[in-house]
């Protein structure tokens, strides 16, 4: 496809990166009294195995044990046990230099994810036209638990532009797209998000400001932010689909340098976004969101 929309699914890079200073990790996994389970009754060993896998990225497919320990935040002894198990399951393998890399078994999973999460060609083409029309990066976001995930993107034609890779995850506490996803997820969604913020991070959260932003987004049916997630970066978003118990909310957003997001331009962006969102409701979303 020559539409310009980035559709590659980074199957090993599907969590918010805690190393990014502008983002706040809102992990819902909390240590329980029973060391074998995680919050909600999930098996903690499985959660930790995913933490190890998610240490790898498309740019860093080979890591040392020390790097995996640092990226995952897990104890070294735990990482070593998990690596042994994942190697035996062919999810990981030992590289020639002694480091760890992804295993052949992940090829099938990556292909499956690519097929399930790729947007239809008409949707990709429409997002490309939106980016060309506005000059800003167009991104399609879905709510996934307490994060938003970029499922498709068409980059701005300018060299100075907003950069988000498909598969990247960001917390729901900051940014126009995040605020709107919460607003589109039901009247109690803001309180659910705040209730899930780890206690040690609550002092860094302006809960009242977050509630007001979500309420405004619900009222206006769109959201605008300037420097909320990263200084000098702005965003505008509109709703593509409301969320419910069966399907997650989906929004379409534009992101770029704040200098280009003047009040006049924001009005133009909103008009273009609404037209594109209307078209996307007909051209369709990734099969995984049906």
The tens-digit pLDDT sequence of the chain (290 residues) is 444 444 333 333 333 333 333 333 333 332 332 333 344 445 888 889 989 998 998 889 999 999 999 999 999 999 999 999 999 999 999 999 999 999 999 898 888 888 888 999 999 999 999 999 999 999 999 998 888 999 999 999 998 888 888 888 888 888 999 999 999 998 889 999 998 887 777 778 888 999 999 999 999 999 999 998 889 999 999 999 999 888 899 999 999 999 999 999 999 999 999 999 999 999 999 998 88
The DSSP bridge partners found for residue 169 are 149
> β-strands 147-154, 250-257: how paired?
unpaired
Cα 256 from Cα 8, distance rounded (Å): 21
* Residue 197 confidence (pLDDT): 82
CA 39 to mean position of chain CA atoms: 21
Residue 152 DSSP SS3: strand
Q: At what angle do helices 44-53 and 76-88 cross, to 10 degrees?
A: 80
Cα 186 from Cα 277, distance rounded (Å): 20
Cα 76 from Cα 245, distance rounded (Å): 39
Contact 214, 190 (CB under 8 A): yes
Cα 130 from Cα 252, distance rounded (Å): 10
Alpha-carbon torsion angle 182, 183, 189, 193, nearest 10: 40
Cα 35 from Cα 58, distance rounded (Å): 32
Q: Which residues contact 178 (CB under 8 A, 6 or more apart)?
A: 141, 148, 170, 171, 172, 229
How is residue 64 annotated by DSSP? -
> Domains in the chain and their CATH numbers?
114-289 (3.30.450.40)
* Residue 53 confidence (pLDDT): 92
The DSSP bridge partners found for residue 100 are 63, 94
Give the pTM. Answer: 0.75
Longest dimension (CA), the chain: 58
């Amino acid at each position: 496809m020559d539409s310009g929309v980035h559709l590659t699914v980074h199957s090993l890079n599907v969590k918010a990166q805690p190393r990014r200073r502008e983002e706040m990790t809102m992990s819902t996994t909390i240590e329980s009294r029973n060391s074998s389970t995680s919050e909600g009754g999930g098996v903690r060993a499985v959660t930790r195995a995913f933490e190890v896998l998610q240490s790898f990225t498309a740019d860093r497919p080979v890591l040392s044990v020390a790097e995996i320990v640092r990226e995952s935040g897990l104890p070294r002894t735990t990482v070593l046990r998990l690596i042994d198990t994942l190697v035996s399951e062919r999810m990981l393998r030992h590289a020639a230099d002694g480091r760890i890399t992804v295993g052949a078994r992940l090829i099938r999973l990556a292909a499956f994810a690519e097929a399930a999460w790729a947007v239809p060609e008409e949707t990709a083409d429409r997002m490309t036209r939106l980016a060309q029309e506005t000059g800003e990066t167009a991104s399609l976001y879905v709510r996934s638990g307490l994060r938003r995930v970029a499922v498709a993107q068409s980059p701005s034609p300018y060299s100075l532009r907003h950069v988000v890779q498909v598969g990247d995850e960001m917390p729901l506490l900051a940014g126009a797209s995040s605020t709107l996803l919460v607003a589109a997820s039901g009247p109690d969604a803001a309180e659910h998000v705040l209730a899930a913020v780890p206690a040690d991070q609550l002092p860094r959260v302006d809960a009242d400001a977050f509630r007001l932003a979500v309420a405004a987004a619900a009222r206006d049916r769109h959201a605008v932010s300037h420097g909320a997630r990263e200084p000098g970066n702005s965003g505008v978003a509109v709703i593509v689909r409301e969320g419910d118990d069966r399907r997650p909310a989906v929004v379409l957003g534009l992101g770029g340098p704040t200098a280009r997001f003047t009040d006049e331009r924001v009005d133009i962006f909103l008009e273009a976004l609404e037209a594109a969102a209307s078209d996307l409701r007909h051209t369709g979303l990734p099969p995984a969101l049906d």
